[in-house]
Amino acid sequence: MAEKPISLTGIKPTGMPHLGNYLGAIRPALRKTEQYRGVYFIADYHALTTVFDGAQMRDQIERVAATWLALGLDPEKNLFYKQSDIPEIFELSWILGCFTPKGFMNRAHAYKAKVAANQEAGEELDANIGMGLYTYPLLMDADILLFGADIVPVGKDQKQHVEFARDVAQRFDQNYGTDVLKLPEPVIEESTDVIPGLDGRKMSKSYGNTIELFLPSKQLKKKVNKIVTNSQGVEEPKDPDTCQVFKLFSLFATPEESAALAARYREGGMGWGEAKNALYELLERVFDEPRRRFEELMANRSEIHAILRRGAERARDEAAPRMAEIRRLVGTDIYSA
């Protein structure tokens, strides 16, 4: 029986995952487990570009791990590990850096955005830009290529990382006349490309407009009620296609539930409070059981640690043969030559 192709997904522990993370990364990744073998990792060293408090980092790693597990990730059928537990990733990152043109790094979205912000503020172009941010794509290349990912589910704004990984893999393989590094394909989730936040902009921690996963009921209701709507009165018909409350509702609801709520919008007689309550009740239903599991895991963090340790052992076992071949190719493994 042929092995399943590999789908790889990583999430940074830079805060509690929110609905945007769930819809854009976690749910699509978990749904692919029937066709793909999942490789899931917590990108804690990527988070080190912004998280500089050790206690905060540890807590956020545990919360992200508990989130994946609570939402249904099976650590026995898939690989699940913490990035920093796999030293081969960082070794490969250096090797790949030796095949990556500096011009590529200059074009990376995150770096370009920081340079543009500095320019607009009248600062030196590279002011307050750490090397971690600049070399971020190299580490992501290694994340993807070490485990031979066939696909990487990403949003449109992350597609560039997969393109960089493909390019550097081709450069490496062409130099050594091999195909040791597989070329990954980005998979764009069009239906969940832009998840609206509380203010209508893309849901993002940087905007402070998120609805975090597993909020207690009262806090969840309070967050949902903060979603910005227009000033239309109760009796006025409303357009569901331009409403972020309905957009979020439709991303969780069945087609029949979405159609029913859309009809209520168009016929009038429904206020924004009723629409928001429909969303709140739906989120309560969807996340009730996962929230219980998340709380159990967070109350027994040693269970999280044991799962991650086992995942790291399995991940290193799988990474070892590819890394050994890479060392042989570059000529550093003189003892086995």
pLDDT computed for residue 74 by the predictor: 94
pLDDT computed for residue 1 by the predictor: 43
Residue owning tokens 């009730």 = 288
pTM attached to this predicted model: 0.90
Segment among 26-30, 284-288, 314-318 with least mean pLDDT: 26-30
Domains and CATH numbers, the chain: 6-195+301-336 (3.40.50.620), 214-294 (1.10.240.10)
The closest alpha carbon to 184, from 159, 212, 216, 201, belongs to: 159
Is 90 exceeded by the pLDDT of residue 134?
yes
Q: In this structure, are residues 158 and 11 in contact, taking their beta carbons and an 8 Å threshold?
A: no
Segment among 11-15, 129-133, 332-336 with least mean pLDDT: 332-336
Burial class (CB in 10 A: 0-12, 13-18, 19+), 194: middle
Higher pLDDT, 1 or 287: 287
Percent of the chain predicted with pLDDT > 90: 75
Q: What is the mean pLDDT of residues 120-134?
A: 91
pLDDT computed for residue 72 by the predictor: 94
The closest alpha carbon to 147, from 25, 3, 30, 12, belongs to: 3
Residue pLDDT, tens place only, 156-212? 777 888 999 999 999 999 999 999 999 999 988 765 567 899 998 989 888 899 999
Residue pLDDT, tens place only, 145-163? 999 999 998 877 778 889 9
pLDDT computed for residue 56 by the predictor: 97
Average pLDDT, the chain: 92
3's CB contacts (< 8 A; 6+ apart) are 37
Element (H, E) at 218: helix 217-225
Is 70 exceeded by the pLDDT of residue 109?
yes
The closest alpha carbon to 278, from 241, 253, 302, belongs to: 253
Identify the band that residue 335 occupies on the pLDDT scale cut at 50, 70 and 90: confident
